Amino acid sequence: MFAQITGYSFAVLVLTGVFLTFYFDPSMARVTYDGPYGPLQDVPVSRAYDSTMELSFEVRGGLLMRQIHHWAALIFCASIALQLLRLFFTGGFRRPRLLNWLIWVGLFTLGMVASLTGTILPDDMLSGGSLLLIKGVLESIPFVGTHLQRFVFGGDFPGDVIIERVYWLHILILPLIIAGALAHRRRLVTRQHGHTRFAPGSAAHRLGSHHVTRARAAIVGAPKAAAIAMFLFTCGVLALLGAFVQINAIWQFGPYEPGAITAGAVPGWYMAFLDGAVRIMPGWELDVAGNPLTLAVLVPAIVVPGVFFTALALWPAAEAVITGDRAEHHVLDRPRDRPARTGFGAAGMTFYGLLWLAAANDQIALNFHLDLFAVTSFFRVAIFAGPVIAFVITNRVCHYLTRRERHEAAHGRETGRIVMDAQGRFSEIHARPDRPQAAIDSPDHELATTAKE
């Protein structure tokens, strides 16, 4: 279902994006705002900002479309992240689905870039903050950073062409690549290796064999109806969010002015881990052959995400090499049955989550009346200690759960019922774990057993 939500969110993004392109002008030419929003009357703004304000306040349904578009971008990235977690913890990335895993990793990166370019287009204060961060990241690249920054911005920052360049990247290039990746992923699933699933006995044991049979018949027997229902449900949720939950209110931020900055503003959740890494990184800077090497930006903004996503993409190959398991797998693992993998997954989530929280270090300090430097120092320590603690705890929990299952299989499950025998001794009744016969007799049972072997 996460894959379906991803595809349907992308469809909503395309439909609302087409609507928005009819009214948005990606020009940085200066005009004077004369729209209905009073606080900005006679304020010099760019044509991009002015057209976005016109779209929000004067075009019928314009603000609703803007907000649905923005929420769809957030849900798109979130569903990809959840799909990656699902594949990772259940082993859905193993042969023959390695390419499918790489597509999802690539889609997450593309979704982040596409969403970031979308927030740049209105040319408001948040847009300017994102552009300023991009400028700093480009300039931190050794030796070629300054030349690269001037090439991207067409001269001195911010220049007068960056919005138009980002516009075509956002509405044409990135959507075509994402659409191609989603189509290829769909082709892999439908024509080559199909969907993964858990062993049927485990699902039947949890829900009852009759529930599993009924649910499978409902889904497999009417795929088009289920797909249409899921699409309508996704559209409905996005419409409700766009109608009732305000987001990206550019009139409150105002147009971008070089040298100014917003207070208490953070990027979209998908970019927050980069912002957090930049905030907690010490201000280190070296001099290499007469050129400054700004580690305070280079490490958190380029090295950390580069290593993180590279490790994510190469994990299937690394696991296959370490475990020596290169067989094809069509049945998913339970996370508890792979304690090392589950522990590393928990460690990665902790690492990502701490960086994500660090993006709000100033808000945490303000709202909880803490010292900002103390909060930053906490995150600098926690980013190294937290993943280790998460790995150890998760690994032990998985081992405990598997030991308990083996004990129940050997001695039976505790029922809490105490009986007294003829000699007056008390003992507890243990119930033997039983497997549903419907699951054992099903045709899928043989496939699951073969795949495990």
* pLDDT tens digits, one per residue of 282-326: 988 888 777 778 888 999 999 999 999 999 999 999 999 998 888
What is the reported pLDDT for 200? 66
Q: Which residues have CB under 8 Å from 79's CB, separation 6+?
A: 2, 3, 5, 6, 9
The pLDDT-based confidence of 406 (bands split at 50, 70, 90) is: confident
Ramachandran class of 61: left when φ > 0, alpha when ψ lies in -120 to 50, beta otherwise: left
What is the reported pLDDT for 426? 81
Q: Which residues have CB under 8 Å from 434's CB, separation 6+?
A: none
The pLDDT-based confidence of 241 (bands split at 50, 70, 90) is: very high
Q: How far apart are CA 33 and CA 50, in angstroms?
A: 6
Residue for token pair 């998460």: 390
* pLDDT tens digits, one per residue of 369-395: 999 999 999 999 999 999 999 999 999
What is the reported pLDDT for 210? 46
* pLDDT tens digits, one per residue of 348-368: 999 999 999 999 998 899 999
Report DSSP state, residue 169: I
Among residues of the chain, what percentage have pLDDT more than 90? 57
Query: Per residue in 75-106, is it b (16+ CB within 10 Å) or e — as a string?
Result: bbbbbbbebbebbbbbbbbbeebeebbbbbbb
Segment holding 447, helix H or strand E: helix 443-452
In this structure, of 362-366, 393-397, 411-415, 437-441, the range with the lowest mean pLDDT score is 437-441
User: Does residue 329 contact residue 91 with C-beta atoms inside 8 Å?
Assistant: yes
User: Does residue 185 contact residue 100 with C-beta atoms inside 8 Å?
Assistant: yes
Q: How far apart are CA 313 and CA 318, in angstroms?
A: 10
Burial environment of residue 14 by CB neighbours within 10 A (0 to 12, 13 to 18, 19 or more): middle
What is the reported pLDDT for 445? 42
* Amino acid of residue 168: W
Structure tokens at 10: 């992308």
pLDDT of 121 over the 50 cut: yes
Neighbouring C-alpha atoms within 13 Å toward the C-beta of 219: 8
Segment holding 178, helix H or strand E: helix 174-188
Q: Which residues have CB under 8 Å from 387's CB, separation 6+?
A: 347, 348, 350, 351
pLDDT of 211 over the 60 cut: no
Average pLDDT, stretch 411-438?
71
pLDDT of 436 over the 80 cut: no
